[in-house]
């Protein structure tokens, strides 16, 4: 919860995530988030949830709906992502039919692990890559401490790759609240100021090859290796992103997995 004396309210944070914050308050909210990383992480988490919901339901919500359900009235009642999620569930219900919906169960409506992790990672990427003074909690100059700290919090021996051969220097990292527990987040920067991030989170998902996702001026590559999900995010130049992700993957893969601390 936000302190009563804070110049930014909970309502404003939700409005900021929904893209409905008044123009004259946007700069104040962003400045406040820059100096309150714990709330910036919450905002990133909300935005990631919104992205995952949109990724799941945007196509469904655009399909024709029975006249007995006026989807437009639902979205007019509230434009927030929570209302859009509810509208998407109704649309999915109508499009699939009662029997099909019941047969698949509530889990059919849930975003995939890929959707969840990439949305969380891209949300954090969008929040922190624009930061000048506080992009990370632990600077890259303290790499051994960063590795030890994040590994302990995730209960997994992390590999933070050296990407200088791709023209990227480690800025540092931070701990984030993940969808299923703590997540690690490392940032790299190129000579022109371009930034890439690697998001790490424990998962019980099976091992996967790389999957690509793009949107809102950013892109990400996701894979799962030895019980850890990795998401490399950056500018939407697919070849450049792929080269960075491959360099990270090669170093992570070469290191013998040790799993839990």
Using CA of residue 187, residue 2, residue 154, residue 122, what is the dihedral sign? negative
Domain boundaries, the chain: 10-109, 134-254
Q: How far is C-alpha 248 from the geometric centre of its chain's CA atoms?
A: 19
Q: Which two tokens stand for residue 258?
A: 């040790």
* Cα gap 90→71, rounded to integer Å: 8
pLDDT mean by block of 10 residues, the chain; 261 residues = 63 77 86 80 72 55 45 46 49 42 41 84 93 92 96 94 96 92 96 95 87 87 92 93 94 63 51
What does R_g of the chain's alpha carbons equal in angstroms? 20
Instruction: Identify the pLDDT of residue 216.
Output: 78
* Cα gap 5→206, rounded to integer Å: 46
CATH class of 134-254: alpha beta
């Amino acid at each position: 919860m936000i302190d009563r004396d804070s110049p930014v309210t909970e309502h404003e944070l939700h409005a900021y995530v929904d893209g409905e914050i008044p123009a004259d308050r946007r700069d104040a909210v962003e400045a406040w988030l820059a100096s309150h990383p714990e709330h910036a992480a919450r905002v990133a988490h909300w935005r990631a949830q919104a992205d995952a919901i949109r990724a799941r339901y945007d196509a469904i919500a655009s399909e024709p709906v029975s006249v007995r359900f006026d989807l437009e009235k639902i979205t007019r009642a509230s434009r927030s992502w929570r209302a859009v999620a509810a509208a998407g569930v109704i649309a999915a219900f109508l499009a699939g039919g009662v029997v099909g919906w019941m047969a698949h169960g509530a889990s059919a409506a849930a975003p995939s692990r890929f959707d969840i992790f990439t949305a969380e990672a891209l949300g954090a990427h969008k929040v922190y890559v624009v930061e000048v003074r506080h992009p990370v909690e632990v600077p890259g100059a303290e790499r051994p401490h960063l590795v030890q700290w994040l590994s302990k919090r995730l209960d997994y021996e992390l590999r933070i790759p050296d990407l200088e051969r791709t023209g990227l220097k480690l800025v540092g990292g931070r701990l984030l609240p993940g969808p299923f527990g703590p997540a690690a987040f490392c940032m790299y920067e190129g000579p022109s100021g371009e930034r890439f991030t690697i998001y790490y989170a424990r998962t019980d998902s099976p091992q996967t090859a790389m999957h690509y996702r793009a949107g809102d001026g950013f892109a990400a590559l996701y894979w799962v290796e030895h019980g850890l999900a990795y998401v490399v995010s950056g500018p939407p130049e697919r070849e450049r992103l792929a080269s960075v992700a491959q360099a990270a993957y090669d170093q992570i893969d070469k290191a013998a997995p040790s799993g839990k601390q």
